[in-house]
Structure 1
């Protein structure tokens, strides 16, 4: 498989995650009104997705180590596409929640196999460069997704927005089926046996490099998911944006993310992964401070909120490619299991955020802003401490030898 094919495959598979949320977000107020659902039930359509996304990775990651990436990918994408189509036809909020949960399983297959494929094909430093290119493509997808979702939801309703998600996943399925071969060279027949699997997870979870990069990935995604989970209600209900306008604003933030990934790629040509992360974290902290200031001042507007988001999202474009490559770097034989464990931590963080915002969103911007600020500040702290100490293989080996 050529590098260009690998980048496109990773972009499509990882891009399924923002498509799953960003196309759907502008339609949430319409879905709530159409189905007569409460705020907690609407948030559950996101939370159920994230729970199954996280738990599914724990199963599918080891399965991909045992039978290969390709069969897990194809089955997951078929399941996801069918669930998205059924969600578009759902008559009740309960049916939507169920379909979103099934989508979470399919999404788990796409994401866990994408990260494992990266480790199959590349060593960590080169893998971070390839991941940065792929996440540039993901950023372009994320930039278009809310804009398209806002336009479709405004013109045709929330069901049409869900239909767009089904079409995208069908296209990804077709590309994987036709262009992506199996990347796992040596299958692990013990990968799904319970005792060896628990032992592998224990080894992975205790590895210093995994701890550093896994925590950074989860915290950084927590900040982004906090933004995504509450943004449609903040922008549309509190700040008065139309659905198409909201989609354009969120799309603009995704454009900033693309710039972050491009800067990351540039830095990785001359700096190590931890050095790139240390620089990207400055923007993450700046975004956290800006959001905290908005929460304290009570003077939020469309422009000020979007500007604050742009700062930490630019940093997110640096932190994510490096940390996602870092979590699987030390584990060539257990890349699927390592990817699954990291993915589960990310999904658990997102589920916690969704549950919290379902209770905390009370018609004010402060709970939302403080949640984003907290995760972004912790991301910067982790980038400057744990990653610098444990994110270099030599340093991590030295720490492992003394613990």
Structure 2
């Protein structure tokens, strides 16, 4: 009887973990079909509407530097509940925003809330499953995250067409309220021994940033993420405004790319296991460069396939680069693994958002802007071939 109760309790906690990691991708993907309408209603350039995504990611990245230590100090449950509260409240602020400035502020706060839910979820995984089994559970959670880009735009397209684009944010708020009530009722604290260490200690991060291997591989993750972010923010404008696709047609193309991305993410670990991380990075960067050439070569063809084919290629390369580089970035660290992971998140989220925001201000055509993002990674290929690059990559191999 006791075993059955414990099993049911464990299943409930897993459901909570899945719900907690869904906040971030939901906040990005559900309202993508509405980006052109948002820009029109706020009477701003598309780049400012796209900033609602980059600001969200920036806050998520910076927030990890504080959310992790807070989860250790105050407990996973407390940080999770606080994160959901901030997320839902800021979603309501976005729903009622009457200017792009208020919308950007709301998204900044929402990024902090989503960051807290994500950190609490992955910290709880480590508490429950331990160092040996947590990797498998994290893979399942990442799989759940990957499905959102395929499903959320479909829901967002229907909501936008039937109820208006603002309803996407009220849906996020409702989702947050429901999850909060469930967590408050049944989520248990999994960290019985909270730490007394300061929430932020600069020396903790300086030791990681002084490691060349970490900086190099974290930059690879950042620039690979920037490619995907450039596509995500540009796709609604290119496919719906420039090419005249309906919201439903847009979600079909977006969903196809999500399926390719999921397949690539599942295949990349097997490739790495067989050929190693060094080969995976080399192949990933080369394939990404091919995607950039395709993007420029096909720019004159005004069809959805001409735009999406290079994106399909980049999704494959993204899985290879991120899968290999993330592990190598964290490899030199043992007791500082949590700090290194937080900094890696800062590079991936905030760094990529900053890179894309800067490039978008250069007033390039979307095809050219995305191709530039793909080519930015090319110099790293020559770094990998150099003596120093090989040394960085082989650190603690």
Change beyond 3 A, Cα 1:186–1:222: farther
Whether the aligned pair in 2 keeps the contact of 1:65 and 1:334 (CA below 8 Å) is no
Whether the aligned pair in 1 keeps the contact of 2:330 and 2:337 (CA below 8 Å) is yes
The correspondence for 1:224, drawn from 228, 253, 269, is 228
Change beyond 3 A, Cα 1:157–1:73: same
TM-score by length of 2: 0.82
**Which residue number corresponds to residue 399 of structure 1?**
none
What does 1:90-169 align with in structure 2 at a 5 Å threshold? 90-117=97-124, 121=129, 123=131, 130-169=137-176
1:109 deviates by 1.4
1:97 deviates by 1.8
The correspondence for 1:257, drawn from 249, 258, 261, is 261
Alpha-carbon separation, structure 1, partners of 2:282 and 2:190: 32
Whether the aligned pair in 1 keeps the contact of 2:226 and 2:353 (CA below 8 Å) is no
Query: Does residue 70 of structure 1 match 2:71?
Result: no
**Which residue number corresponds to residue 3 of structure 2?**
none
Q: Secondary structure at the match of 2:245?
A: coil
| Structure 1: 5+ residue stretches without partners | 396-403
1:60 deviates by 1.9
**Which residue number corresponds to residue 350 of structure 2?**
348
Whether the aligned pair in 2 keeps the contact of 1:115 and 1:339 (CA below 8 Å) is no
The correspondence for 2:308, drawn from 303, 306, 309, is 306
Change beyond 3 A, Cα 1:37–1:335: same
Alpha-carbon separation, structure 1, partners of 2:281 and 2:134: 15
Whether the aligned pair in 1 keeps the contact of 2:296 and 2:368 (CA below 8 Å) is no
The one-character-per-residue Cα deviations of 1:87-112 (angstroms, maximum 9, x if unpaired) are: 12323333222211110111221334
**Which residue number corresponds to residue 369 of structure 1?**
370
Whether the aligned pair in 1 keeps the contact of 2:63 and 2:115 (CA below 8 Å) is yes
The correspondence for 2:290, drawn from 265, 286, 290, is 286
1:42 deviates by 2.0
TM-score by length of 1: 0.80
What does 1:4-403 align with in structure 2 at a 5 Å threshold? 12-117=19-124, 121=129, 123=131, 130-170=137-177, 173=180, 181-184=188-191, 187-192=194-199, 197-267=201-271, 277=281, 280-281=284-285, 283-295=287-299, 298-324=300-326, 327-328=329-330, 331=333, 333-361=335-363, 364-375=365-376, 377=378, 389-391=391-393, 394-395=396-397
Change beyond 3 A, Cα 1:391–1:179: farther
Alpha-carbon separation, structure 1, partners of 2:74 and 2:17: 20
Alpha-carbon separation, structure 1, partners of 2:126 and 2:48: 38
Whether the aligned pair in 1 keeps the contact of 2:384 and 2:393 (CA below 8 Å) is no
Whether the aligned pair in 1 keeps the contact of 2:226 and 2:356 (CA below 8 Å) is no
| Structure 2: 5+ residue stretches without partners | 1-5
Whether the aligned pair in 2 keeps the contact of 1:150 and 1:244 (CA below 8 Å) is yes
Alpha-carbon separation, structure 1, partners of 2:164 and 2:312: 28
1:64 deviates by 2.4
- Structure index of larger Rg: 2
Alpha-carbon separation, structure 2, partners of 1:127 and 1:207: 26
